[in-house]
Amino acid sequence: QVQLVESGGGSVQPGGSLRLSCATSGIILSFYAMGWYRQAPGKQRELVAGINRGGFTEYTDSVKGRFTISRDNTKNMVYLQMNSLRPEDTAVYYCNCDPPIYSWGQGTQVTVSS
């Protein structure tokens, strides 16, 4: 069974940084484009960063220049480095393939506040 386990979230002040990790199992990660998604209260889940099988990355405009997605296929891991965090980045962050076809994990909470 495919499992997606996010970790690394927490509470930070504006301008702070976090590194999120996604541990995958049950798949050969190199076969998939992957993404990080987030969902804030009252909003739809949105794709914020994607990385294809060749390592090409794309970002939604609101995080461009601040977030970096990466992958380590040997370790079955996907990462999201988040810098210069803003209060509007507050959300639960999830990983999945892009487009998402597997069940969502529990996500990891990121809270940015003073």
The reported pLDDT for the residue numbered 89 is 98
Q: What is the pLDDT of residue 67?
A: 98
For position 4, what pLDDT does the model report?
A: 97
Report the residue count for the chain: 114
Per-residue pLDDT at 22: 98
Q: Which CA distances in Å does 80 have to 30, 56, 72?
A: 17, 14, 12
**pLDDT tens track, the chain, 114 positions:** 999 999 999 999 999 999 999 999 999 999 999 999 999 999 999 999 999 999 999 999 999 999 999 999 999 999 999 999 999 999 999 999 999 999 999 999 999 999
DSSP state letters, 64-85: TTTEEEEEETTTTEEEEEE-S-
